[in-house]
Amino acid sequence: MANPEEMYQCQGTNCGYIYNPDKGCKKGKVDKGTCWTDVPEDYKCKVCGASKKSFRPLAGPGSVREEHS
């Protein structure tokens, strides 16, 4: 089981979709409780089809919040 600090949300930079590990992504075939680091590298955004590389964490180093502060 992942540590709580590993269960951060990530936001797509193209469309703003937020991946929530508590919900997973049914369309992307990612189970509930899957932390972002365990999401497959071939994951595509369920809204715009962007790659996993297009997502940023919402908190912590490299996060969307950190870039705007």
Distances, alpha carbon 30 to alpha carbons 23, 24, 43, 47, 68, in Å: 9, 5, 9, 15, 29
Evaluate if residue 63 carries a pLDDT over 80: no
- Residues 30-50 have pLDDT tens digits of 999 999 999 999 999 999 999
A 10 A CB-CB count for 45 gives 21
| Structural domains of the chain in order of their starting residue, each with its CATH number | 1-60 (2.20.28.10)
